[in-house]
Amino acid sequence: MTETTGANGALKPFTKLATGIEGLDVIAEGGLPAGRTTLVGGTAGSGKTIFAAQFLAEGIRIGEKGVFITFEESPAELSRNLMTLGWDVPAWEAAGAWTYVDGSPDEEATDVVGDFDLGALLARITRAVKKSGATRVSIDSVNALFSRLPNPEKLRGELYRISRALRQLGATTLVTAERLDDYGEVSRYGIEEFVADNVILLRNTLQDERRRRTVEILKFRGTAHQRGEFPFTIASEKGVVVLPLSAMKLTQRSSTTRVTSGIPRLDEMLGGGYFRDSIILLSGATGTGKTLTVTHFVAGGVAQGDRCILFAFEESREQLMRNAKSWGHDFDEMERGGLLRIIPVYPHAMPLEDHLLRMRWAIEEFKPRRVVVDSLSALERVTALRSFREFMLGLTSLLKHREIAGMVTSTAPSILGGHSITEKHISTLTDTILLLRYVEINGELRRGLLVLKMRGSRHDTTIREYTIEADGMHVGEPFRNTSGILSGNITHGRAEDEEEAPGEGPQVQVE
């Protein structure tokens, strides 16, 4: 049989069955191969049973019936466990949407005398599928069968026979199998070679002392899928949610609509404001005014009627409200008015994938035009680099898909400049980078602002001085005869140049 991995291949691609499992259909490019068997391999605790159950649960939501064959837990135990995810299996059973085939171990001892087959199981599965009209079948897990019976070759052959019969019945089947090692052989007993043309692996690994769950589509015969490992999480009420981060394409159309930064002079520097769907990285050492810039961004949005979400990773909402109020912006009132939502996030509380998921739900629900994450540095401290990058990819594509202006802040590692690890790894994902820097001039600490990059727009490339007043940020004139601000090695020109009146800065700006 010829294999094609893309829709452009010579073979007509197999049709897919959308599973309904959030994110899975994205990486599976449509879903599982319809009418086929897919093996789901994973170590103990990797989420195989939930995955298998969810395949049916999502089908039931759209009116497709399912048969669940269990070799490990009894139907009663399973239903009890699945109830905690919000799936009312007994009600589905009563409605004929969910049918169990109970293959859990017998209470009485079983002796084996001679050769046997799985004929009774096949007859029961066939009956259950025909009787209920099921199109989805989950088998969990075949290892339980292997571990209590002799003759693995025989069992493999029999499972192949069952998988072929299910195909003739038109059912799309998911078979779970246990693996001993997250990066070892696909399954114990070599089941995958007999049972399935399609293999999905679930992993549950410890990385930098944090649990990390990933799903990988190892192979789909004759049909396309995304490659690599994608993080997933198991959430109550939702079950498995795959985060198809890097599978999301970052090729959205770019908006030419400008939105205000909330600071008039900064808007001028930006050539009229940020772009509607841009990701803005705001970098600065502690005390340079990042939170203030964020406050202007939020207040500027709310003043235009833009809904805003502020994800607060570092400061409490009270702190943020106090700060804003001290600059004359009433966040409390904005929240009551329904245009602002401040969501505190505790970086240590859960894995980054889960944070991203919750942020996505908040965004889907509140439908903001502007989103702020303050700050990324708080995340960087609690996570592995790879997860962090995936998080940023996920976040940026999430915002861009919805044409949301996103501002993320990052704390520069030293007072006088330099780049944080965060910036190094996300600068390619951002459209606009703003730097807030301390500038030491003649023994005095002043502040300088630079638009380091702005994709798709002319912008002011000078480093301008700004001050923080009672009513917020005031952007002034460029520093002159001062270089090395970015690197932190500041050198100055002649002293009298410092005395020059403001307003005589360069009229022609260098692009």
Which sequence positions are flagged as catalytic?
Answer: 72, 314
Among 29, 88, 102, 216, binds another protein (CB under 8 A): 102
- Which of 161/276 has CB closer to another protein? 161
144, 73 Cβ separation under 8 angstroms: no
164 binds another protein (CB under 8 A): no
Among 60, 101, 263, 450, binds another protein (CB under 8 A): 101
Among 10, 62, 63, 115, binds another protein (CB under 8 A): 115
* Site stretch for another protein (CB under 8 A), options 108-116, 173-181, 379-387, 449-457: 108-116
- Which of 104/205 has CB closer to another protein? 104
168 binds another protein (CB under 8 A): no
181 binds another protein (CB under 8 A): no
237 binds another protein (CB under 8 A): no
Among 116, 160, 327, 366, binds another protein (CB under 8 A): 116
In sequence order, the β-bridge partners of residue 258 are 275
| Sign of CA pseudo-dihedral 453, 474, 437, 355 | negative
Run of H or E including 470: none
Collapsing DSSP to helix, strand or coil, 303 comes out as helix
Collapsing DSSP to helix, strand or coil, 73 comes out as coil
* Site stretch for another protein (CB under 8 A), options 102-110, 294-302, 393-401, 438-446: 102-110
93 binds another protein (CB under 8 A): no
121 binds another protein (CB under 8 A): yes
**Preceding omega of 375 cis (within 30 degrees of 0):** yes
Amino acid at the residue 450 = L
Contacts of 252 (CB under 8 A, 6+ apart): 277, 400, 401, 403
Buried b (16+ CB within 10 A) or exposed e, 113-143: eeeeebeebbebbbebbeebebbbbbbbbbb
Name the minimum Å distance from CB 114 to another protein: 3
Q: How far does Cα 329 stand from its chain's mean position?
A: 32
Pick out residues in 283-312 that bind another protein (CB under 8 A).
none
Contacts of 196 (CB under 8 A, 6+ apart): 36, 37, 38, 39, 163, 175
123 binds another protein (CB under 8 A): yes
149 binds another protein (CB under 8 A): yes
443, 454 Cβ separation under 8 angstroms: no
113 binds another protein (CB under 8 A): yes
Interatomic CA distance for residues 347 and 312, integer angstroms: 10
Contact flags string 127-146 toward another protein, x per CB under 8 A: xx----------------x-
Name the minimum Å distance from CB 350 to another protein: 41
141, 178 Cβ separation under 8 angstroms: yes
Interatomic CA distance for residues 426 and 449, integer angstroms: 20
- Which of 26/145 has CB closer to another protein? 145
208 binds another protein (CB under 8 A): no
Among 28, 53, 118, 217, binds another protein (CB under 8 A): 118
* Site stretch for another protein (CB under 8 A), options 10-18, 106-114, 244-252, 460-468: 106-114
Name the minimum Å distance from CB 63 to another protein: 25
Interatomic CA distance for residues 187 and 190, integer angstroms: 6
* Nearest one of 322, 357, 314, 320 to 341, comparing CA atoms: 320
119 binds another protein (CB under 8 A): yes
Please tell me the count of residues contacting another protein according to CB under 8 A: 27
Query: Which chain residues interact with another protein by CB under 8 A?
Result: 101-103, 106-124, 126-128, 145, 149
